Chain A
Amino acid sequence: GENVEQHPSTLSVQEGDSAVIKCTYSDSASNYFPWYKQELGKRPQLIIDIRSNVGEKKDQRIAVTLNKTAKHFSLHITETQPEDSAVYFCAAGDGKTSYDKVIFGPGTSLSVIP
């Protein structure tokens, strides 16, 4: 089955700097890659997703890039703000079930220092 790795596990940046989180996946048939943000004590929420027919997607200060050949994808947050502090989870869609199910990475705890 699909296996998703995520790095780094923790990340601290100064407010205004950029943050990059990287994920790799194992199943070359995966074709859906969402990112979820989980603030302390809250439920995960989708912030951006990308499908395998595009290489990059941007939404304001957030962007995601996908390299299908290398089987990795990354989340980029620019001009970080304290409210960006949270745990971020990447995920990859299980191609065996037509990406009905996604497998999550272990998460990255991002701290933005004011």
Chain B
Amino acid sequence: GAGVSQSPSNKVTEKGKDVELRCDPISGHTALYWYRQRLGQGLEFLIYFQGNSAPDKSGLPSDRFSAERTGESVSTLTIQRTQQEDSAVYLCASSLVAGGQEQFFGPGTRLTVL
């Protein structure tokens, strides 16, 4: 079946512009996560959605970052007024239900801020 998909695969933008990244989770997966991975670094948690519960936004690095999810479907991560330090791969993952379930990762969006 279809896995987690993300778009665009690559995004180059100028400093100060806003960008929107999209994630399509596996159908039926109620949990969705966003991570940031800088070159050669680990997986930095950004935000977590679980069903209709309030999202866990504890990992968002600044108020320039926001994310939305409609029900149990598509999620978008928005970065406003991008900075060069925002350059990274942004990974989305989904899992079937809450409670220690395998996360299935998307291919990521590579963001480059010039």
Binding site for B on A (CB under 8 A): 1, 31-32, 34, 36, 43-46, 49, 51, 89, 93, 97-107
Q: B: which residues have CB within 8 A of A? A: 31, 33, 35, 41-45, 48, 50, 56, 58, 91, 98-100, 102-103, 105-108
CB distance A43 to B108 under 8 Å? yes
Give the docked Cα–Cα distance between A105 and B43 (Å): 8
List the A side residues contacting B31 at CB < 8 Å: 100
Q: List 23 A-B contacts (CB under 8 A).
A: A32-B99, A32-B100, A36-B103, A43-B91, A43-B107, A43-B108, A44-B91, A49-B102, A93-B100, A99-B100, A100-B48, A100-B98, A100-B99, A101-B45, A101-B48, A103-B45, A104-B42, A104-B43, A104-B45, A105-B42, A107-B41, A107-B42, A107-B43
Contact between A51 and B100 (Cβ–Cβ < 8 Å)? yes
Contact check, A101 vs B102: say whether CB atoms are below 8 A apart: no
Instruction: From the candidates B35, B50, B58, B102, name the one contacting A100 in the complex (CB within 8 A).
Output: B50
Also in contact, A46 and B107, with CB within 8 A (given A97-B56, A100-B48, A107-B42): no
